[in-house]
Amino acid sequence: MPEQRSRLEVRTGNRVLTYQVAGPDDGLPVFLLHGTPGSSSGPRPRSIVLHRLGIRLISYDRPGYNGSTRLPDRRVADAADDVGILVKHLGLDRYGVVGRSGGGPHALAVAAQRPDEVIAAAVLVSVAPADAPDLDWFGGMAESNVEAYTIADASPTTLAERIRLRAERIRRDPESLIEVLRDELRGPDRRIVDDSSIRRLLAETYAEALRLGADGWIDDALALRGNWGFDLRDVTAPVRLWHGEDDNFSPVSHTRWLARQLAHCEVQVQPGAAHFGAMEILPQMLDWLKSRNARP
């Protein structure tokens, strides 16, 4: 059975951010930026693993997801302000960030804009900016993602309508998104999502993310294809990029492009893994973040 976690909230002006904390109180604080669509209860190591690693994991619902108030026209860069609100609320000083899939660019945004606080960043199966030079952005990408992002460019209103319809189906049948994607999943991803416990966890995550509507998903898609609002050259903290070699939702070419832009970066491309492999590799990434904090 999945662990029960309490959802907390912090108010800022006329907005609310909902978040969860797991792991030891004295552990290294690490912000986990969830995927698209996703929520603060998304896949993460169990508490016993976080205690062993010495990680205090903080995850929050991006604006428009679950209980977090929508922030119209938000950009990827706005994640740094949201994390800043939680940093102040929780009384933190230094911390790591890790972002998975659609959360990857948001983790880089935090590292770029809060350099005095971020120890290191781990970025898993991320996409690159839409205007990345010398990158075939859609090359090797699953047709469903190509279609969605193309619509986002041409008609945000049409994209919003389609996502709202899909979100309504997911609220009625939380596993429907997994079923829609299954035909496009590569072998390594099918192995992961065919595990009943993982499948149930993903379904619960999607249902929770969209329980109050599809605004977060819509705004994520538009933000990822829009101007991110920060410069990757401003990321001065150490970064570890991880990507499954067989990923066709966020092709590995995106991570290789990101690596060329970042000043202090190491890259791990894992054969025999794809997009959902980021869930399995997360404990290793957290352990890497802890090791960066231990260095003088």
Give me the tens of pLDDT residue by residue for the chain, a chain 296 residues long.
345 456 799 998 899 999 999 999 999 999 999 999 999 988 899 999 999 999 999 999 999 999 999 999 999 999 999 999 999 999 999 999 999 999 999 999 999 999 999 999 999 999 999 999 999 999 999 999 999 999 999 999 999 999 999 999 998 888 888 888 888 999 999 999 999 999 889 988 999 999 899 999 999 999 999 999 999 999 999 999 999 999 999 999 999 999 999 999 999 999 999 999 999 999 999 999 999 987 65
CA distances from residue 95 to 12, 66, 290 in whole angstroms, order as listed: 21, 25, 10
What's the pLDDT score for residue 1? 37
What's the pLDDT score for residue 210? 93
d(CA 63, CA 82): 9
Which has the closest alpha carbon to 207: 240, 247, 171, 178?
171
The matching CATH number, chosen from 3.40.50.1820, 3.40.1380.20, 3.90.550.10, 3.30.1360.20, for 8-294 is 3.40.50.1820
Strands of the sheet with 118-124, listed across from one edge: 8-12, 15-22, 55-60, 28-33, 95-100, 118-124, 239-244, 265-270
Spell out the domain ranges in the chain: 8-294
The predicted model scores a pTM of 0.95
Length of the chain: 296
What pairing do the DSSP bridges indicate for beta strands 28-33 and 8-12?
Answer: unpaired
Measured from the Cβ of residue 271, the count of other Cβ atoms closer than 10 Å reads 8
What's the pLDDT score for residue 182? 84
